[in-house]
Amino acid sequence: MEPNTGGAGVSTSEAAPRDLGRRSFLKVGMAAAAGIGLFGAGARRLEAAPKFIEMGKLNTANALTRLRTAKGNVFLAVATNGCALQGDSTSDFGVVGRSTETTGVYGEGGIHGVEGFSGPNIGVRARSGTGTGVAGTSGTPPPGPPGPPGVTPPIGVLGESFNAQGVGVVGKGPNTGVAGFSETGVAVKADAVAGPAVVGSSQGAQGVVGSTSALNVAAVEGVATNVDPSTFNTGVFGRVERGHGVQGFAANGIGVKGQSEDTSGGGIGVLGDAAAGVAVKGFSRDATGIGVGVLGEAVSGVGLKGYVGAAGGFGVIGEAPQGSGVFGTSDTGNGLHGYSANGLALYAQGRAWFDSLVLVPIEAGQSSGTVTNVGQATAGSFAIATIQGAGVGAAISHTEIPVAGTVTVHLTTPATNSGYAAVLVVN
């Protein structure tokens, strides 16, 4: 055919023929279509001289064939049953449409405008050099080039909907609805101006699953780039009506880790907030006795801090039905340190026990008693002593620590009977 200058199949100079009649139909069969090209079939087949199709007769093509009409190089094929125009080829394109200024092939139908089918391969394939390979739109597009803001060709497939509540692209599949793949870049990227960029929903499994086999990277990462100091952003947010807002699991390692790089002192690694109840809870199912429900560590400063603003409240509370509610240990410092500007640094409600409390034997007729191997007794220690029972018949004069580890109790008179003096060593 000669190039079409009238748009999508209609001449600009004259209207398309209303009725070409039965003799104007063109049917190219399987045996005769291998060499037929419509609207020009490519330079590689121009070796033979073109042969024009003769209307109303059976034509056999053995070279490049063209169809010329008196209606501005427009050809119209009409059929009431079957294909109006069919092109068959065993080794090349079945039908080729070409236009230098507008649409190469235009299809319009009551059901499908253009339909492609292939048994084992691709049903429809579209290619573009530097533009969009396939652009599908629904509704009336606004003025301007198609495509989302900030995304320019080359684009493989572009789907847009300009209808209210419309969807640009929908993928359905028994296993995967939409698959994205990239060797070095992002497999699937979503951008939104005002709404969520990605929404995952499932009726029977997880809404969103992230998986990676790479080393030292996150399977799912949430990044908030807003640096406005008047705002408070969240990298990952979990919300449920009932259950756990965020849950972490690790077969070997840490279930949930929070980290803050704020060096001003106001950063928080993990923040728990509850309207009522427990803001942060740690639970260990280890039955060997080495499990830790909550562990607080710090290079310097405070490893674990609790704060309460209400009167009568507790900054930190430890509860153990049979063990120790709160346990503090230190190799060279203070195992437990209490401070209060106006109250009590240490308040014991119930009995108290100190392992620096020792019993010093007092023999009858002696004016002193001594005990050794007292680890807490040093040169700077204080020793507080009392006689245990009235039968000793003497009172405490004073106590001393002559050498480290040794405590001596002196009496005002020799003891009438043997007994003990209780000594509390305080450092």
| Cα gap 256→246, rounded to integer Å | 9
Q: What average pLDDT does this structure show over 264-284?
A: 86
Please give, one letter per residue, the 3-state secondary structure of 358-425: EEEEECCCCCEEEECCCCCCCCCCEEEEEEECHHHCCCEEEEECCCCCCEEEEECCCCCCCEEEEEEE
Q: What average pLDDT does this structure show over 296-304?
A: 84
pLDDT score, position 68? 54
* pLDDT at 179 > cutoff 90: yes
* pLDDT at 33 > cutoff 50: no
Q: What average pLDDT does this structure show over 122-135?
A: 88
* pLDDT at 342 > cutoff 60: yes
Domain ranges of the chain: 1-109, 357-426
CB atoms within 10 A of CB 93: 12
- Which of the two residues, 70 and 126, has the higher pLDDT score? 126
The pair of three-digit structure tokens given for residue 353, joined into one six-digit string: 């026990």
* Burial classification of residue 198, based on how many CB atoms lie within 10 Å of its CB (0-12 exposed, 13-18 middle, 19 or more buried): exposed
Lowest pLDDT segment from 92-101, 253-262, 311-320: 92-101
pLDDT score, position 150? 65
pLDDT category of residue 258 using cuts at 50, 70 and 90: confident
* 374-403 pLDDT per residue, tens: 988 998 899 999 999 889 999 999 999 999
The bridge status of strand 357-362 relative to strand 419-426 is: antiparallel
| Cα gap 255→387, rounded to integer Å | 56
* pLDDT at 47 > cutoff 70: no
pLDDT category of residue 229 using cuts at 50, 70 and 90: confident
pLDDT category of residue 424 using cuts at 50, 70 and 90: very high
The whole-chain average pLDDT of the chain stands at 80
pTM comes to 0.57
Q: What average pLDDT does this structure show over 99-125?
A: 88
Q: What average pLDDT does this structure show over 311-336?
A: 88
- Which of the two residues, 342 and 58, has the higher pLDDT score? 342
| Cα gap 18→15, rounded to integer Å | 8
* pLDDT at 427 > cutoff 90: no
pLDDT score, position 48? 53
Q: What average pLDDT does this structure show over 84-102?
A: 80
